[in-house]
Chain A
Amino acid sequence: MNITQSLKMAVKSIMSNKLRSFLTMLGIIIGVAAVIALVSVGQGAASNITTQMQGLGTNLLTVNISGRGVATSLSYEESLTYAAVPGVKEVSPVISGQVTAKNGTDNVTVQTEGITPEYETVRDYHVQAGRFILPIDIEYRQRIALIGTGTAQDLFGTSNPVGQSVLLNGQRFTIVGLLASKGSSLQSSNDDKILIPISTAERLLKSKGVRSIYIQAQSTDTMDSAMNLIKAKLLNKFGSEDAYTVFNQQDMLDTASSISNTLSIALGGIAGISLFVGGIGIMNIMLVSVNERTREIGIRKAIGAKRRDILTQFLIESVTLGALGGLIGVGIGFGASKLVGKFTSLSVSTSWNIVLLAFCFSLAIGVIFGIVPANKAAKLKPIDALRTD
């Protein structure tokens, strides 16, 4: 007997008891749908975190100086010497603080950073209109500013802010550039900020010295060695490891993605358990079905069905149940993750891998949990099977 014939028999038998077949499949349907939906949410969160991290800049080290004793900061000139550390590509010292920005009657408190031109490449910030801060602005302590899209909206509404002036803590600054939108990162919105030359910032914020430096390594490979050299240099300067912290963006990225991977696995595992329970449901119903159809098995054997024929018939039946449940589950899981993506703030990414995996798993469950009942059916003796009603 060939496979198509067995498949026809299996489908016929499944269709002859639709409600029961559906209830049997329900476990698999829910399991597969749950695996796909939950893992999609998990992976969505993971890719979200990764993009946010990468939004901070690539190959980025962040040095924060909290200060101990006499030395609580680096001078601007000192901070630039870190560019000479082997493995370092560029250095972007930053002086930051809160400033009241005012345009006419609108005023907002906004995060303001005093920066150098290197900030553009190190932090990956670009202007969408106007120009970036130039070395000459630093040299002459120009009162110019770059404005983030969020702050620009607050102060200027929809009109073009470039060329207009803004009052920062009462001092008049000319806006020379509008920053490109970067979205929000883990800490805060990247678009609610004002950037000014670092030399101007020292005065405006009344903060002498640099407390944070963004350092870009030449490549991912040089990052660790550069970080160690920087740490050594900082230790030499401050004499205590407590005076500063150095963050490695890659470390944070790794930590974050390992957390979200763990999340995905945990969610997938929970859903996998329901898939397993669904498999037990299939086995249960198949065993009942074998009992109910003992006579049918006897008749089939009497007219010439071999053990293998009966085995494949029941096995194909349970695999078909698994596959059908898997297909419906894929549909529902896919739909559910699309709905979650549409109606909640969670970002969702459904990979075909997980869809395929969940489907194959449901097939495998059909086989594994079908073997015991199918074997039981195949082993029935024809006379015993014919004797029962």
Chain B
Amino acid sequence: MSSPQPLIQISGLSHWYKMGDEELRVLKDVSLHIHHGEFVAIIGPSGSGKSTLMNMIGCLDVPNEGSYRLDGQEVRELSDNRLSAIRNEKLGFIFQQFNLLSKLTALENVELPLIYRGLPHKERRMLAEQSLERVGLSSRKLHRPSELSGGQQQRVAIARAIAGKPSILLADEPTGALDTNTGKEIIQLIRELNEQGHTIILITHDLTVASQADRIIHIQDGVIAIDGGARV
């Protein structure tokens, strides 16, 4: 059922932080495969290590030990610049706090990753407008984040994440700062993106949100407790 090479291939991954003299082991020997087109939810209580795992998958941090292959490439061997390029091309981030730049308009926010990719102005505009249309916010493209509701801001953030057509979307508690109804709409949107072919990795502590995913991975105390496997 799985394609020959998993998109994400994690094996024996461990990570720890130094807190003074003590070592705080956050991830302990985690192994995980995620394939193209999957919708995975990683669930666990706070302090379980799920955010650290997301940072690892998102190439925001590099593990102390073990191997992480993204698209067949060993992340630990990559330079800071290559990591930036990979985040830009292969990953789209959706944060709990939206993390939009407040001084830029919705359109400019969506354009930002494309600027860093070095696309010419016209192409950038076009891609940005397209992805704003996909999240249904074309009409508000010239508004600044402060002029948008929470749900709309999260949609702009999603548009920014998908603008560069990345293979993986990483959503860290995307509904955490939204009310229930808006949260449902956002999850619905994420589902639709998955149906359109994006691989989704959703981090949450909320089981109802996680239940929307095809595969649920429970993480506790830095180890994978239950891996739901792919829903057939």
- Contact residues of A with B, CB < 8 Å? 1-2, 5, 12-13, 16, 295-296, 298-309, 381-383, 386
From the candidates B99, B100, B103, B116, name the one contacting A304 in the complex (CB within 8 A): B116
Contacting pair A303 B88 (CB below 8 A): yes
Q: Which partner residue on chain A sits nearest B99 by CB separation?
A: A299
Q: Which residues of A contact B149 (CB under 8 A)?
A: none
Q: In whole angstroms, what is the CA distance A299 to B87 when docked?
A: 11
Contacting pair B55 A383 (CB below 8 A): yes
Contacting pair A303 B89 (CB below 8 A): no
Q: In whole angstroms, what is the CA distance A295 to B103 when docked?
A: 13
Contacting pair A303 B118 (CB below 8 A): no
Q: Which partner residue on chain A sits nearest B81 by CB separation?
A: A306
Contacting pair B103 A13 (CB below 8 A): yes
From the candidates A2, A12, A303, name the one contacting B103 in the complex (CB within 8 A): A12
Q: In whole angstroms, what is the CA distance A296 to B58 when docked?
A: 18
Contact string against A for B residues 36-63, beta-carbon threshold 8 Å, 1 for contact and 0 otherwise = 0000000000000000000100101100
Place the interface of chain B in its size category: 20 to 34
CB distance from B182 to the nearest CB of A (A): 22
Contacting pair A386 B60 (CB below 8 A): yes
Q: Which residues of A contact B58 (CB under 8 A)?
A: 302
CB distance from A36 to the nearest CB of B (A): 34
Q: In whole angstroms, what is the CA distance A15 to B118 when docked?
A: 24
Contacting pair B60 A303 (CB below 8 A): no
15 contacts between A and B (CB under 8 A): A13-B103, A300-B116, A302-B60, A303-B88, A303-B113, A303-B116, A304-B85, A304-B117, A305-B116, A306-B85, A307-B84, A383-B60, A383-B61, A386-B95, A386-B99
- Contact residues of B with A, CB < 8 Å? 55, 58, 60-61, 80-81, 84-85, 87-89, 93, 95, 99-101, 103-104, 112-113, 115-118, 160, 164
Contacting pair B87 A304 (CB below 8 A): yes
Given A12-B103, A296-B101, A383-B61, A305-B118 contact (CB < 8 Å)? no
Given A306-B116, A309-B116, A299-B101 contact (CB < 8 Å)? yes
Q: Which residues of A contact B103 (CB under 8 A)?
A: 12-13, 16
Q: Which partner residue on chain A sits nearest B113 by CB separation?
A: A303
Q: Which residues of B contact A299 (CB under 8 A)?
A: 99-101
Q: Which residues of A contact B101 (CB under 8 A)?
A: 296, 299-300
Q: In whole angstroms, what is the CA distance A226 to B115 when docked?
A: 75
Contacting pair B84 A305 (CB below 8 A): yes
Q: In whole angstroms, what is the CA distance A13 to B108 when docked?
A: 14
Q: Which residues of B contact A300 (CB under 8 A)?
A: 101, 112, 116
From the candidates A1, A16, A295, A381, name the one contacting B99 in the complex (CB within 8 A): A295
Given contacts A304-B117, A309-B116, 4 further A-B contacts (CB under 8 A): A300-B101, A300-B112, A303-B113, A307-B81
Q: Which residues of A contact B84 (CB under 8 A)?
A: 301, 304-307, 309
Q: Which residues of A contact B85 (CB under 8 A)?
A: 304, 306
Contacting pair B87 A302 (CB below 8 A): yes
Contacting pair A303 B112 (CB below 8 A): yes
Contacting pair B80 A303 (CB below 8 A): no
Q: In whole angstroms, what is the CA distance A376 to B154 when docked?
A: 30
Q: In whole angstroms, what is the CA distance A306 to B81 when docked?
A: 6
Given A12-B103, A296-B101, A386-B99, A303-B87 contact (CB < 8 Å)? yes
Q: Which partner residue on chain B sits nearest A389 by CB separation?
A: B97
Q: Which residues of B contact A386 (CB under 8 A)?
A: 60, 95, 99
Q: In whole angstroms, what is the CA distance A368 to B82 when docked?
A: 28
From the candidates A1, A16, A301, name the one contacting B115 in the complex (CB within 8 A): A1
Q: Which residues of A contact B104 (CB under 8 A)?
A: 12
Interchain residue pairs A-B with the least CB separation, the first 6? A304-B88, A303-B113, A304-B116, A306-B84, A382-B60, A299-B99
Q: Which residues of A contact B55 (CB under 8 A)?
A: 383
Most buried by B among A12, A308, A381, A382: A382
Given A5-B115, A309-B116, A383-B61, A303-B81 contact (CB < 8 Å)? no
Q: Which residues of B contact A306 (CB under 8 A)?
A: 80-81, 84-85, 116
CB distance from B216 to the nearest CB of A (A): 25
Q: Which residues of B contact A295 (CB under 8 A)?
A: 99
Q: Which residues of B contact A296 (CB under 8 A)?
A: 101
Q: Which partner residue on chain B sits nearest A379 by CB separation?
A: B80
Q: In whole angstroms, what is the CA distance A383 to B60 when docked?
A: 6
Q: Which residues of B contact A303 (CB under 8 A)?
A: 87-88, 93, 112-113, 116, 160
Q: Which residues of B contact A308 (CB under 8 A)?
A: 81
